[in-house]
Amino acid sequence: MSEPNYKNLNESELRQYVKSHPQDEDAFQYYLSLVRKKPAVIVGSNDTKRLTEELQKRIMNEKIEKADQHLKDALIRRLENEMKKPINKIIPFIEAVSERNFDKCCEAAQAYINEYSQEEWHSEITIRLPVILDRESEIWLYSQCFQRQ
């Protein structure tokens, strides 16, 4: 049998061909590539409890992978939207932090909220500010927030 012919066989026929032609390395490798693409059989047909557990685990893993991808996509969209806002809108807040002037921080935050929204401000302080502020400034800002509550 020539090479193109064994590629047209179904899996059962190909297995028989490989058994009857052990010298045909190409056919054997082709058969192995088909077998490796299929999920491995982990449990026997008599062990229904393990089979059920394995199927449930695989279904759960597939759901997790899909959810992970969905969350990654949502985060990427959110970050892309954040990057569209001009950085100069939060510069007054950053300057107030560097001056350690909490009242000015509050005024700058309120100006941002008035122009955009409370939700947009929340995004700024959770996404952009931690990247922009140095550790000392971040600690100062959080301590001021907690002291004034």
Among 99-103, 136-140, 143-147, the range with the most confident prediction by mean pLDDT is 99-103
Residue 57 has pLDDT above 90, yes or no: no
In a 13 Å sphere around the CA of 52, the CA atoms on its Cβ side amount to 4
- The per-residue pLDDT for 2 is 47
- The per-residue pLDDT for 99 is 94
List Cβ neighbours of 50 (8 Å cut-off, separation of 6 or more).
42, 43
pTM of the full structure: 0.45
- pLDDT, tens digit (0-9, with 9 covering 90-100), for 102-115: 999 999 999 999 99
In a 13 Å sphere around the CA of 33, the CA atoms on its Cβ side amount to 7
Of 92-96, 106-110, 128-132, where does mean pLDDT reach its minimum? 128-132
- The per-residue pLDDT for 100 is 94
Q: Where are the domains of the chain?
A: 3-37, 43-84, 87-147
Residue 11 has pLDDT above 90, yes or no: no
